[in-house]
Structure 1
Amino acid sequence: MVTVKRAAAGIAMAFLSYSAAASNTLSDTRSVGMGGVGVASANYLTASFHNPALATQNKRHDSFGMILPVIGAQVYDGNDLHDRVDAFQDLNDQLAGNPDLVDEWTAALKDLDDGRIDGDVNVGMVVAIPNRMVSTNFFISSNVTALVLTDIDEDDIANHEVINSTGQAVAGGTVDIGFTFAKEFIFLDRDLSLGVSPKLQQLMAFNYKQGIDTFDDDDIDIGSDYVDKSAFNADIGAAYALSRNVMLGLSVQNVFSQSLTSNESSGNQVTYEVEAQYTTAFAYNHPRFTVAADVDLNSNKPFKEQAYKTQFARIGIEADAWRVAQLRLGYIHSMTDFSDDLFTAGIGLKPFGKFGLDIAAIYGNEDNYGASAQLVFHF
């Protein structure tokens, strides 16, 4: 019997194991704790995940830094779709021997229409070498998005037989390996930083579709069925210090559009698309706290054939206690109907100055939750 609750996150995790690398949607753990902000508030270590221009934002004593690794995952299961699929499949197995269950069977099938579970998994690392000439980071980052979808046909409801109603699992992801280069200039008596992250990008896509009565994640074989291709891409960004404490940011991730058609399953394919993502941001940086806000200027629609898309406005705050501990809180507002608003929280611990551990959590309604963790080294 299907275990759909784990399917979306499980597919994403399996996808990462075959793609062999690393994080973007959840980005770094500090950002997750602050609601996903970073385009104007990232530090020199995390700039490659948000805005390459911020690689210049190092302290005078910073000569080398590293995040190894950052790991994050998020799962959304609105209205307990996994339980409802299990319940329907049980009823479907019993229906042939007990026609009295037909009304209950019909209600259970109707209840599955347009169901969705989605999951994201991210892993990453970065090595940073700040300097006055050109600040440079080497980074590996990947993001995998997986969806489990149900589509119920009205004829099946009327005929009390599963013919056209389906369950479908799709996944798409990227693995980026690249360098960030950033330089600071004086513009209108203020500091202007410009940055670029050229990167080798590996795209992957996977599709599995079956009748809703037989849909089973045990039959999913990502290792032999997924398709992939390599491409060149880049991120660019700018950061302008409006004052000593106020930073404005603008980033464009994945400047060059890419797409990849998945494997065929039950006569069906999906197209995974990577489009440019534009984000603008504001941050107020005080020695003891940071307040930041990011807004996506366009939506992200990972699968061409699916209506699913995301776009967010984010706000976050970080309070610093003598550079030894940090408390972070954030709020993520969904600008589409395909995601709920989310609350985030996180802590950072740097008891010895050079080494730190960050952890963060995400929570929303209807089984929407996530977590992230990373190890940070400063020298």
Structure 2
Amino acid sequence: MTRRTTVKKIKLSAVAAAVSLLVANGASAANTWTEARGDAMGGTGVAAAHYGSGVLLNPALLAKAQPEDDVTVILPTVGAQISDKDNLADQIDDISDRINYYEDVIDNFGPEDLLNLNGSLQQFQNAAGELADQLQTLNGKVATARAGAGIAVSIPNDVLSVAFVAKGYAHARLSSWVDPDDISYLRGIQNSDIRAGAVALDASINGSERITNNLRSTGFGRAAIVSDYGVAFAKQFDIGDVPVSFGVTPKLQKTWLYNYTVPIYLYKSSEWNSTRYRNDDTGFNVDAGLAADFGENWTVAVSGQNLISRDIDTKVVNGYKDTYEIKPLVTAGVAWNTENITLTADGDLTETKGFKSEEDSQYAGVGAEVRPLSWLALRAGYRADIKGNDNDVFTAGVGFAPFNRVHLDLTGLVGEKETWGAGAQLSVTF
């Protein structure tokens, strides 16, 4: 692949990095799980999820199955979210086009063009000036994408409920840094006929790479994939007149980290998953949760994901490295249920961690579900980052449950500054 085709749209490559890497390694939400019903209700579910999907976000809910409930299999749940609040995709794509034009001018440049101030030399100077303008507006902008997937088999039992789960989440972040010397170099070409002629003639003889090799602006790509493989155990006890459920999920945790740090003019989305930029780590972790029912309608719950902290360094690439932080994520939730309506709210009690180079977030969400028919559910919600480092989103979804055996849940979200996402979940009850 040539330089002229290396820089892809950041919006598409962010999705590719998060989704394709997730699929390639066998593993959307802002949290460490994807569950389509809760994602449609503002990313909630710590208190409101069904027993069959509770293992994904709060293992205590596994013990809330009713005597008539059977084995539930989720195969699978998937979701993805992308945010390009600075229109970085379009700007990088414009720079790619400008580099193409820049090199085309050089490839067609000859000694006879040195005195043609209204021809090729002027085109070269104009291209340098336009590229400098674009780089100035690009510096420090960011695009992100998340994806998640999971499968689970939940087996309710009066003595001890058990579930087997495999889930994963991926997070990709693309950012840019523009070297001020690049701007000065390009402005020098733009504003000096002598300078422009010398640079153009040298590049036409020795190759257009002579110019882009002098440009140091850098694209930073970071991606993390965390896959969990665990067995959950849950039991319900009565404390006074309050049924209290407790659940725990010991799990094997596999992490892949990607540090794709290259000159912005050499960016290739196809190289994100190259072993040159990847390292991995395997460890042990645990999730746990509590849920208590107050009366017939209220449930209060708390979930702890990744209770064992782990810091994992990326590879050092072109002098850069980062650290991915896996820290306990504690979320509290409350749900009010009737036969036809569920209202729920969740709030993180701890910060959501990621790469050290990123700002932390802390989420809160509210949602509702209305069930006008026994086989149909309509959902909506809202999720916000109370730290203001991620975009707030509105969520919505629909659920179908023919014969109450096959369940299909669909969700979508949209937020400010070009944030959008979608998810789906298929489950079968035997």
1:124: Cα distance to partner? Answer: 0.7
Q: Which of 95, 108, 126 is 1:100 aligned to? A: 126
1:228: Cα distance to partner? Answer: 1.1
SS in 1 for 2:303: strand
1:91: Cα distance to partner? Answer: 2.6
Q: Which of 220, 225, 229 is 1:168 aligned to? A: 220
CA contact (8 A) 1:22 1:175 kept: no
State the match for 1:44 in structure 2.
Answer: 51
Matched, 1:156 2:182: yes
1:77: Cα distance to partner? Answer: 1.2
CA distance in structure 1 between the aligned counterparts of 2:269 and 2:245, rounded to whole angstroms: 47
State the match for 1:311 in structure 2.
Answer: 362
CA contact (8 A) 1:22 1:125 kept: no
| Letter in structure 2 aligned against 1:281 | G
CA distance in structure 2 between the aligned counterparts of 1:360 and 1:172, rounded to whole angstroms: 24
Matched, 1:377 2:428: yes
Matched, 1:227 2:294: no
> Identity across aligned pairs (percent)?
32
CA distance in structure 1 between the aligned counterparts of 2:276 and 2:73, rounded to whole angstroms: 34
| Letter in structure 2 aligned against 1:139 | V
Matched, 1:6 2:6: no
CA contact (8 A) 1:319 1:327 kept: yes
State the match for 1:348 in structure 2.
Answer: 399
For residues 1-379 of structure 1, the aligned pairs below 5 Å read: 1=5, 2-3=7-8, 4-21=10-27, 25=32, 27-95=34-102, 98-160=124-186, 163-223=215-275, 225-304=277-356, 306-379=357-430
1:118: Cα distance to partner? Answer: 0.8
1:218: Cα distance to partner? Answer: 3.4
CA distance in structure 2 between the aligned counterparts of 1:45 and 1:223, rounded to whole angstroms: 37
CA contact (8 A) 1:22 1:141 kept: no
Per the alignment, do residues 67 and 215 of structure 1 end up closer, same or farther by CA in structure 2, a change over 3 Å counting?
same
CA contact (8 A) 1:117 1:149 kept: yes
Deviations 1:306-348 (A, max 9, x none): 1333221100101113431111101011223331110111111
SS in 1 for 2:86: helix
Stretch of structure 1 that moved more, 120-129 or 163-172: 163-172
Per the alignment, do residues 267 and 224 of structure 1 end up closer, same or farther by CA in structure 2, a change over 3 Å counting?
closer
The structure with the greater share of residues assigned to strand is 1
State the match for 2:112 in structure 1.
Answer: none
Deviations 1:262-308 (A, max 9, x none): 2232122222221110111111011111000000112212112x133
1:22: Cα distance to partner? Answer: 11
1:13: Cα distance to partner? Answer: 2.1
Structure 2 gap ranges (5+): 107-120, 187-211
Deviations 1:84-113 (A, max 9, x none): 012123334545651134443222111111
| Letter in structure 2 aligned against 1:202 | K
CA contact (8 A) 2:86 2:143 kept: no
CA distance in structure 2 between the aligned counterparts of 1:26 and 1:115, rounded to whole angstroms: 27
> TM-score scaled by structure 1?
0.94
CA distance in structure 2 between the aligned counterparts of 1:231 and 1:257, rounded to whole angstroms: 11
1:59: Cα distance to partner? Answer: 2.4
CA contact (8 A) 1:175 1:201 kept: yes
1:12: Cα distance to partner? Answer: 1.5
CA contact (8 A) 1:16 1:144 kept: yes
- What's the C-alpha RMSD, in Å, of the aligned pairs? 1.9
Count of residue pairs the alignment pairs up? 378
Structure 1 gap ranges (5+): none
| Letter in structure 1 aligned against 2:388 | D
CA distance in structure 2 between the aligned counterparts of 1:251 and 1:212, rounded to whole angstroms: 41
The structure with the greater share of residues assigned to helix is 2
SS in 2 for 1:56: helix
Q: Report which of the two structures shows the higher radius of gyration computed on alpha carbons.
A: 2
SS in 1 for 2:339: coil
> TM-score scaled by structure 2?
0.83
SS in 1 for 2:270: helix
| Letter in structure 2 aligned against 1:262 | T
Per the alignment, do residues 67 and 219 of structure 1 end up closer, same or farther by CA in structure 2, a change over 3 Å counting?
closer
CA distance in structure 2 between the aligned counterparts of 1:26 and 1:80, rounded to whole angstroms: 27
